[in-house]
């Protein structure tokens, strides 16, 4: 059996669309990182082992999603100015 790749993200926290924004104005998820494992639980354990900084944040809800291709293999889209 091959290890699977998982991305970890959270709906917790706030995001600004630009440095000029006074108040957070984007309702989104924040990508925390990724890790490999045979199961979601194993990958999460590996993620925490290599990203101990997450334990010092106020993030409470972390979502695990299996991803099928590496980020550098994905298609990029650009928004017109």
The predicted pLDDT at position 22 comes to 77
Gap between the Cα atoms of 66 and 41, Å rounded? 12
Determine the pLDDT at residue 68.
85
Q: Is residue 28 part of a domain?
A: yes
Q: Is residue 78 part of a domain?
A: no
Selected residue with higher pLDDT from 8 and 22: 8
- In a domain, residue 53? The reply is yes
Q: Is residue 44 one of the residues assigned to a domain?
A: yes
Q: How confident is the model at residue 38, as a pLDDT?
A: 97
Is 36 within 8 Å of 47 (Cβ atoms)?
no
Q: What is the pLDDT of residues 25-81, one digit of tens each?
A: 777 888 999 999 999 999 999 999 999 999 999 999 999 999 987 766 777 788 886
pLDDT at 7 over 70: yes
Phi-psi region of 33 (alpha: psi -120 to 50; beta: other; left: phi over 0): left
Domain membership of residue 76 (yes or no) is no
Q: How many domains does the chain have?
A: 1
What residues make up the domain containing 15?
4-71
pLDDT of residue 81: 67
């Amino acid at each position: 059996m091959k290890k699977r790749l998982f991305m970890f993200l959270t709906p917790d926290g706030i995001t600004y669309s630009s440095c000029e924004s006074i108040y957070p104005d984007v309702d989104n998820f924040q990508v925390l990182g990724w890790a490999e494992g045979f199961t979601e639980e194993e990958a999460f354990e590996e993620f925490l082992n290599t990203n101990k900084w997450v334990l010092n944040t106020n993030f409470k809800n972390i979502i695990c999603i299996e991803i099928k291709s590496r980020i550098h293999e994905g298609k990029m889209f650009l928004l017109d100015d």
